[in-house]
Amino acid sequence: MSAGGTVEPGPPGAAAAPSPAPAPARVFRPFSAEDEGQQPTEIESLCMNCYRDGVTRLLLTTIPFFREVIVSSFSCEHCGWNNTEVQSAGRIQDQGVRYTLTVRAAEDMNREVVKTDSATTRIPELDFEIPAFSQKGALTTVEGLISRAISGLEQDQPTRRANEEAIAERLDEFIVKLKELKQVASPFTLIIDDPSGNSFVENPHAPQKDDALVITHYNRTLQQEEMLGLQAEAPEEKPQEEDLRNEVLQFNTNCPECNAPAQTNMKLVQIPHFKEVIIMATNCEYCGHRTNEVKSGGAVEPLGTRITLRITDPSDMTRDLLKSETCSVEIPELEFELGMAIFGGKFTTLEGLLKDIRDLVTKNPFTLGDSSNPGQVDKLQEFSQKLDQIMEGKMKAHFIMNDPAGNSYLQNVYAPEDDPEMKVERYKRTFDQNEELGLNDMKTEGYETGLAPR
């Protein structure tokens, strides 16, 4: 196009080329003091020291051979308070990073350092550590990192000298050692451990290898991921089985006599050479009624059990005995039989069960009351006397426990050897016995095949 506005003819077949689009401005520019276009953004903000207006400056920059960071600086012209901070502009890295720098010369003190909030700084030679999240992130140098630690330790020294002089003196000695590090009189080690992976120590020889700097990447632990606020996949913990053998369980119930609120204690007990049973005991604080009951802790046995004991000595009365609610008792010499549902479950001794049988007979008002038959009274009194003779060892008798469910037990005092006075028989239950136990209508195998599909 000419100055007069006329269009000059171009070569045949040539078309006007479109003007190239302007390149988008880079948000994060390389960190350089020579870039005049890299100016911080100023934002008016509140000073948290004097509560007047101050200025916050933000600089978005890129550190060579590292990544983008945000450098922020606040200053207040009213009270003079200022603060600087560095934050990573990227995400938390997949792995943590550990920088181990061996400082040998004064040039190493000028290395640039990016220390995030989550980084831990250590100097092993002085046993010195700056824990994570105890300082804000900073863009500084190795010397600046040490100077910042010295300033933090000196901050409250006047107060310590007034209150805790011994601690203040030890801190003064330690601060002198930190200041000597800045002179690099002898080599020392600086370790920056950052689980987020966003800290950085400059390599002045990049892209060449730095012999004084060791960089280690590692996988974070669960504690470190929790510290960074990441949702760590906690390992599946196997549910711990409760050990009920050493614990007495309690639950609320009502007294069977006065219907007042009462507590029932329950405990799982292992009977030697037998199985586990559940003992339940109820004690009423209002009427004083006490009751106990024993339940089998296992399933119904495949075979029934018949236990026959020949009572020949008073020591037989001390044998432990477990009578389940499905067990019947016989004493042929007394022509006596006790049904399975009379006493319920009991865990006692042979003497204790015989006393319960005697009390059941002698204290029954329907058998020994005013309306009782005189002939029947004599028979019951004779039965009671013979029962006392058996417990005293003056009369020999057979004691038979018949349990179709196989959950009753009588102690073998010769265990694990056989007891010459006791006989244990296993038998197959009849149809009527299975009917009483409810086993005929119970289907435990293939029960799903008979269900109709929905």
What tokens does 431 get?
């149809």
Residue with tokens 């997949």: 94
Each residue's pLDDT tens digit in the chain (454 positions)? Answer: 434 443 444 444 444 444 554 444 555 555 555 556 667 888 898 898 898 899 998 888 776 655 677 788 889 998 988 887 777 666 788 899 999 999 999 999 999 898 888 899 999 999 999 998 888 878 789 999 999 899 888 888 888 888 888 888 999 999 999 999 999 989 999 999 999 888 889 888 877 888 899 999 999 988 888 888 776 455 555 556 566 667 788 888 888 888 888 888 888 777 766 677 787 888 888 888 888 777 776 678 888 999 999 998 889 999 988 888 888 899 999 888 888 767 777 878 899 888 888 888 777 666 665 656 667 777 888 888 888 898 888 899 999 999 988 888 888 888 888 889 999 999 998 888 888 887 877 776 666 665 545 4
In a domain, 267, yes or no: yes
**Does residue 354 share a domain with residue 287?**
no
**Does residue 215 share a domain with residue 103?**
yes
In a domain, 2, yes or no: no
What tokens does 133 get?
């999240």
Number of domains in the chain: 4
**Does residue 166 share a domain with residue 106?**
yes
In a domain, 222, yes or no: yes
Sheet holding 213-218, edge to edge: 128-130, 120-123, 188-194, 96-103, 213-218
> What is the C-alpha separation between 334 and 399, in angstroms, rounded?
10
**Does residue 348 share a domain with residue 289?**
no
What tokens does 402 get?
């018949």
Quick one: which of 438, 151, 384, 420 has its CA closest to 312? Answer: 420
In a domain, 448, yes or no: no
> What is the C-alpha separation between 425 and 307, in angstroms, rounded?
6
**Does residue 278 share a domain with residue 325?**
no
The residue range of the domain holding 272 is: 249-296
The last residue of a domain, from among 296, 330, 355: 296
CATH number of the domain at 322, please: 2.60.120.1040
Decide: 179 and 186 in contact? Cβ < 8 Å.
no
What tokens does 283 get?
């004690």
Instruction: Give, for 30, the enclosing helix (H) or strand (E).
Output: strand 29-30
Q: Over the Cα atoms of the chain, what is R_g?
A: 46
**Does residue 413 share a domain with residue 322?**
yes
**Does residue 386 share a domain with residue 325?**
yes
Quick one: which of 29, 25, 78 has its CA closest to 54? Answer: 78
Please give the single-letter amino acid code of residue 49: N
Decide: 197 and 116 in contact? Cβ < 8 Å.
no
**Does residue 256 share a domain with residue 331?**
no
Distance of CA 324 to the CA centre of its chain: 39
What tokens does 96 get?
């943590």
CATH number of the domain at 80, please: 2.20.25.420
Specify the DSSP class assigned to residue 430: P
In a domain, 3, yes or no: no
Alpha-carbon torsion 148, 149, 150, 156, what sign? positive
